[in-house]
Structure 1
Amino acid sequence: MRRVIVLLFVFSLFLSGCQAPFSQKETKTTLLEREPVLFEPFSIPENFIPQRINVLGLGDSLTQGVGDERKEGGYFGRLTTDMEQWKGVMDVEAINLAKRGRRSDQLLEQLEDPNVQEAIVQADYIVFTIGGNDLMKVVKGNFMKMKLSDFYKELGKFEGRMDELFEILRLYNPSAPIIVAGLYNPFSVLTDEVQEFDEIIEDWNRSLEERAQRDGTACFVPVEDLFHSNTNLVYHTDFFHPNSKGYDQMEERFVEEIKSCPAVTLEVE
C-alpha cells in the first residue's frame, strides 16, 4: 500500500509539471547567467626575489683605492659594500681588476686577457676610472715646455681609445650598466693658478661624458668639484690620490648619480 502511495505522488508531480527546486537544469541556467569573474594575471616584481650581482672594477689607482688609509677599498669597496643593502640584492660579488698607474692604452691591452673577458661577460655592473695617467704622461713628457696643444693632441688619441673600450665592453656584455667617473685636477692643491689646466680637465670630462651618453646604457659620474683644492682635506699625503674622506665623498657621488641613471634597475637606498 505504501508503495502505491509513493507512485501516485510521483505521478502527480509529473502531470502538474512541477520540478524539484534545485534541478540540474536550473543549476546550469544559473551558472550561465552569472557575470564572469576575471582574475588579474599574477606577476612577481623583479626586486621581490633577491639577486646575486657581479660588479667589475676596471681602470687605474682610483678604482684600486690607492690612498685609502682605512683600507676600505676606495670608492669601489665602499660602493659594492653599500650595494649589499640595496633593495632586491642578496649578495654582491666584487671583482676589482684596476691597477695603479694604468693608462687607457694599457687598459685596452688588459682586455685582451681571456680571464678579463670572462669577467666582463659575467658582470652585472661595470665601473671604471681612467684618463688621469694619460694626462700625467703629457705633463711628465713635456714638463719644461708644456703647451695646450700637447694635451689636446693626446685627448684625440684618448677619445679613440675610449671608443674602442666601449666597443669591446659591449662586444662581451651588451647590457650591463657601465658607470664611469670623471677626472679632477690634482694641481689645484699646489696652486690657484691652474685655470688652463682646469679647462683641459673640463674638456676631457666632456669627452668621457659624451661617450657614456652615446653608449645609452652608461652613466657618467662627475667628481672634479670634490677635489678642487684641499680645503676639505680630501687628499692623501701624496697630494694626488684621495684619502679615506675623499673616497667617502666620491662614493656618495657615485650613489647619487646611480640613483638617476636610467640603466640601473636596482632600487638604490
Structure 2
Amino acid sequence: MSKRIITIIVLICTATTLLWAIGLIVTIQDQFFYEASSIKQPKTTTSNIQKNNGLSIAALGDSLTRGTGDETGKGYVGYVVDELKKRTNQPVQFINLSIKGQRSPQLINQLKQKEVQRQLKEADIILMTIGGNDLFRGGETLRDLSHTQIEKEKKEFVEQLHTIFRLIRTANSNAPVFYVALYNPFNDLDNGKETSAVVRSWNYAASEVAAQYKSIICVPTYDLFELQVNDYLYTDKFHPNKEGYKRIGERVASLITLTKGEK
C-alpha cells in the first residue's frame, strides 16, 4: 500500500474521530446538565387556542419542564394537559417558559420580565421545576458530597425559592402552583444512599417553603423513581424518558382539582 493511500486513510479516520467527538460534546451539552446561556424569553410552546378562552396553564423552570429526554417531546407538561383535557369540556392552552439548564437565580431574573409576569397573570394553573441544577451542579455533587457545602447551597436555594414564590404570587395571587420536587437519578450508583439522603433533605426544605404560601403545592416525585430508576431515565441517565415524564405528569394531574367553572 502506497504512503499516499495510507496518508489519506489516516486523514479520513482523524476527521471521522473529530466529528464524532464534536457530536458527543454537543449531545452532552444539550441533554446532560445543559447550562443556560441566557435568561431571555425563550421560544414558547402554546396551543392554537385564543387567550382568555378556556383553561390556561403556564410552565416555568428548567429542562425537566422543557421535556428533555422525552422522545415524543411532550414532557410532564404535555401529559398533564392530556389528563386535564379528559376532565373538562373547555379548551386547554399552555405556554412553556422553561429554559434548559436554568438555576434558581436565573429563574428569578426571568420572573422579573414584564412579558413573563403578563403570562403568569393570565394563567389558571402554574407548573414549575427548579433546583436540580442548583443541587447537582453539572455532576459536581457526585464528586463532592461535603455536608458543609451542600447545606450551604441548600440554604441559598431555600432563600431563592422564597423569592421565586413571592414573584409568582405578585404576578398571580390565586392560581395554584405545582412545584415538582426532585427525584434521585443516581440512587443505583455506589453512593446512592448518600445522594438519596441529600435529595430527600432538599425536597423537605422545599416543601416547608411551599407550605408558607397560598395554594403552592410541592409535588413529590422521589418515590416514582426510587425503584428501577433506570427504567424511567433517558439515555443520559439524568432526565426522565417518556415513561418517567408520564409518571410525573399523572402525579401532578392527580393533584389538580378543577372548579365548577373550569369543567
- TM-score normalised according to structure 2 size: 0.74
Q: How many residues are aligned here?
A: 211
| 1:227 alignment partner in structure 2 | 225
Q: Is the 8 A contact 1:58 1:129 kept in 2?
A: yes
Counterparts of residues 82-161 of structure 1 (less than 5 Å): 82-87=83-88, 89-137=89-137, 139-140=139-140, 144-161=143-160
Q: Note the alpha carbon deviations across 1:5-47, whole angstroms, 9 max, x for none.
A: xxxxxxxxxxxxxxxxxxxxxxxxxxxxxxxxxxxxxxxxxxx
| 1:8 alignment partner in structure 2 | none
Q: Note the alpha carbon deviations across 1:147-179, whole angstroms, 9 max, x for none.
A: 111111001010111111111111111111001
| 1:81 alignment partner in structure 2 | 82
**Which letter maps to 1:157?**
E
2:64 pairs with 1:65 = no
Larger radius of gyration: 1
What do you get for the CA RMSD once the two structures are aligned? 2.2
2:198 pairs with 1:200 = yes
| 2:13 alignment partner in structure 1 | none
Percent identity reads 35
**Which letter maps to 1:121?**
K
**Which letter maps to 1:61?**
S
Q: Note the alpha carbon deviations across 1:181-210, whole angstroms, 9 max, x for none.
A: 110111114x15322221111111111111
Q: Is the 8 A contact 1:127 1:178 kept in 2?
A: yes
2:187 pairs with 1:188 = yes
Q: Is the 8 A contact 1:166 1:215 kept in 2?
A: yes
User: Unaligned 5+ residue runs, structure 2?
Assistant: 1-52
| 1:52 alignment partner in structure 2 | 54
- CA separation in 1, counterparts of 2:261 and 2:128? 21
Q: Is the 8 A contact 1:183 1:224 kept in 2?
A: yes
SS of the counterpart of 1:247?
helix
Runs of 4+ in 1 over 4 A off after TM superposition: 142-145, 266-269
**1:146–1:200: structure 2 CA closer, same or farther, 3 Å change rule?**
closer
- CA separation in 1, counterparts of 2:139 and 2:149? 9
How far did 1:143 drift?
6.1
How far did 1:68 drift?
0.3
- CA separation in 2, counterparts of 1:267 and 1:203? 38
| 1:246 alignment partner in structure 2 | 244
**1:78–1:159: structure 2 CA closer, same or farther, 3 Å change rule?**
same
| 2:208 alignment partner in structure 1 | 210
Q: Is the 8 A contact 2:179 2:218 kept in 1?
A: yes
How far did 1:56 drift?
0.3
Q: Is the 8 A contact 2:187 2:229 kept in 1?
A: no
- CA separation in 2, counterparts of 1:108 and 1:169? 10
- TM-score normalised according to structure 1 size: 0.72
**1:145–1:82: structure 2 CA closer, same or farther, 3 Å change rule?**
closer
- CA separation in 1, counterparts of 2:139 and 2:69? 21
Q: Is the 8 A contact 2:85 2:91 kept in 1?
A: yes
**Which letter maps to 1:168?**
L
Task: Return the structure number with greater relative CO, CA threshold 8 A, min gap 6.
Answer: 2
User: Unaligned 5+ residue runs, structure 1?
Assistant: 1-50
SS of the counterpart of 1:119?
helix
**1:64–1:123: structure 2 CA closer, same or farther, 3 Å change rule?**
same
Q: Is the 8 A contact 1:219 1:258 kept in 2?
A: no
Q: Is the 8 A contact 2:84 2:253 kept in 1?
A: no
**1:234–1:92: structure 2 CA closer, same or farther, 3 Å change rule?**
same
Q: Note the alpha carbon deviations across 1:57-108, whole angstroms, 9 max, x for none.
A: 000111110000122x201011113212213x41111000111111011100
**1:144–1:62: structure 2 CA closer, same or farther, 3 Å change rule?**
closer
**Which letter maps to 2:155?**
G
